[in-house]
Amino acid sequence: MTEEEKQKKKKKQKQLALLKQKEVESQKFVELLETLAELEKEQKYVDVQICPQCKSPRIRRVGTLSGDMSGHMGLTPPKFECVDCGWRERTVVKATNRKMGVKQVAIIAEARDIEERKKFER
């Protein structure tokens, strides 16, 4: 096997691993949405923090000794990390089954408009 063939084989394996990871991510997200729908039927409304990368609800706050002293002191927003994929950042996405008000709908619409403008600028 030549060096070029080995590189192609490694690249193909990486692509297959990424596809499998995407399937797992989408399955986790579907399960989360189903759970939120069930809770809404029971009239229980919750906000669940989810990882922006893998859509897992297994998010925890980074401790002071693990590198978030400024977040603990209140100087910056707290830092969160995903237990599943290792993502670490100060922003976190929330999934909810609460009814949205006019203000939330306007914010989402404005964010989508900004995304569309960026696509046209490219």
Maximal C-alpha separation, the chain: 62
* Residue 48 identity: V
Q: Which of 45-59, 60-74, 80-94 has the lowest mean pLDDT?
A: 60-74
pLDDT at 38 over 70: yes
Helices and strands in the chain: count of H runs, count of E runs: 3, 5
Please, are residues 48 and 60 in contact by the beta-carbon 8 Å criterion?
no
pLDDT of residue 63: 73
Amino acid code (one letter) for 46:
V
Cα separation of 89 and 80, whole Å? Answer: 6
What integer is the mean pLDDT of 52-67?
Answer: 77
Mean pLDDT of the chain: 76
